[in-house]
Amino acid sequence: MRRFRYGLDPLCLLSCGLYAACRWLIRPHTSAVFWHSYSTDYLFIPAALPLMLWVYRRLGLRAHDQFPDWPEIGLHFVVWSIAAEGVAPLLFKSATGDWWDVVTYAVGAVIAGGWWTLASRPGFDLLAPHYTWMEKVLAGPRLQRCRTAWIDELAGTRRLLVAGVGHGPALAAVLRRNPDLRVTCVDASARMLTVARRRARRAGLDMSRLEFVHASLPAWRPPEAHYDAIATHFFLDCFPPRELAAVIATLARAATPGALWVVSDFALPARGPARWRARAVHKLMYLFFRLTTGLPARRLTPPDTLLAAHGFRLQQRATQDWGLLHADLWGRQG
C-alpha cells in the first residue's frame, strides 16, 4: 500500500496553486460570476482535505497514512457542506448559504476520490494499462532496441530470469530466437504481469515456456544457481543505492557460475551537451515516476561496480540516443 503524502500529494499541490491563482490573480480582474462564486469551491476538498487529515494524524486522530477512501471523503463533504452552507449563515451575517456551492463541493470530492483511488494502487499498477502506448509516444523503438540488442548472445541459454518484466515487450523476440528457452518473469505489479500475459498470448507464444511470478525484489528468493541468463530491462534504475545492492545480490545468487546478464537502462554521458540533456531527462523521469508510482529512487545509480563485485565482467556495451541509453552484456566466468 502506497503512503499518502498529505500536503505533498500532487492533487493537493495543484489544487492549492489553482486556488491561489483564482483567488488573487483572476478574481481581481474579472466580474464573471463563476470566478467569484464557484471556481474555488471545486478545489475545496482536493486542497483542504489532505491538510486536515495531516492535522488529524499529528493529533493522533488518524491511525494510518493510507489514501483517503470514499467514506472518509464523503463524511468530510457532508460535514463541511452543512457547516458552510447551513450553519454558517445562521451564525455570521456575512455568510450566505448557496446550495449550488454544495454541488461544486461534490464535483471536487468526486474528482479527488477518483484520483486518490487510482493513486493508492501499488507501484506501477496505475500505469500498467497505459505503459505500452506511453513508451511508443515518448521513446519510439529506442527502448526495445536496447532490450533486444544481445538476443543472439543468449542463443545457448536454457533458463532466463527477467526481473521487472513490466509489460513484457521483449518476450516474443527472445522466445522465438531461442526455441529451447524457458523464461521466468518477475514483477511487483500484478497489473503489469496481466498485461505481459495478455501480450504473450496475443503473440501466439507457448505459455508453457513462461512462468509469471508476482513478487518484489529484493524480498523474493529465487532458487540459487538456477538461471544461466538474467535480464534487467529498465529495472535497476528503480532502486536507491542500498536497495539496488540487495537486488543485485539476490539476482546474482540465482545465476549459475557461467551466467550471462543483460542490462538495458538509462545512462549519464561523461560530458558536454549530451550529459546536460541526459540530466534533464533523468530529472523529469524520476519526478514523474515518484509522483505516479511512489518510486523510491531519486536518481540513477550505475550498477557496474555491484555487478563486478559478484563476479560479472562487462563483455559488450551498445549505446544510443547520445549516450542516454545503453545495452550491456555481462558475463560470469564459470
CA dist 141 and 250 (Å) reads 30
pLDDT per residue over 3-56, tens digit each?
A: 899 999 989 999 999 999 998 998 888 887 776 678 889 999 999 999 999 999
- Please check whether residue 189 lies inside any domain of the structure: yes
Q: Are residues 110 and 249 in the same domain?
A: no
Q: Are residues 185 and 102 in the same domain?
A: no
| Pairing status of strand 325-332 against strand 210-214 | unpaired
Quote the pLDDT of residue 2: 75
Both 156 and 293 in a single domain? Answer: yes
Give 121-157 pLDDT, tens digit per residue: 778 998 999 999 999 999 999 999 999 999 999 998 9
> What is the Cα–Cα distance from 163 to 251, expressed in whole angstroms?
8
Q: Which of 120, 146, 170 is the last residue of a domain?
A: 120
Does position 323 have pLDDT exceeding 80, yes or no?
A: yes
Whole-number Å distance between alpha carbons of 288 and 7: 18
pLDDT of 191 = 94
Q: Do both 74 and 174 map to the same domain?
A: no
Whole-model pTM?
0.77
Domain of 224: which CATH number? 3.40.50.150
Let me know whether 109 and 149 are in one domain. no
The answer to whether residues 116 and 211 belong to one domain is: no
**1 is a domain residue:** no
Residue written as cell 546478464? 261
Residues 44 and 166 grouped into a single domain: no
- 189-202: per-residue pLDDT in tens? 999 999 999 999 99
Domain range for 114: 6-120
pLDDT tens string 210-258: 999 999 999 999 999 999 999 999 999 999 999 999 999 999 999 999 9
Q: Are 255 and 286 in contact (CB under 8 A)?
A: no
Residue 325 lies in a domain: yes
Q: What is the DSSP string of 55-77?
A: HHHHHT-----PPP-HHHHHHHH
Q: Are residues 226 and 183 in the same domain?
A: yes
Residues 158, 108 share a domain: no
Q: Specify whether 114 is located in the same domain as 141.
A: no
Q: Which residues have CB under 8 Å from 134's CB, separation 6+?
A: 127
- Same domain flag for 145 and 292: yes
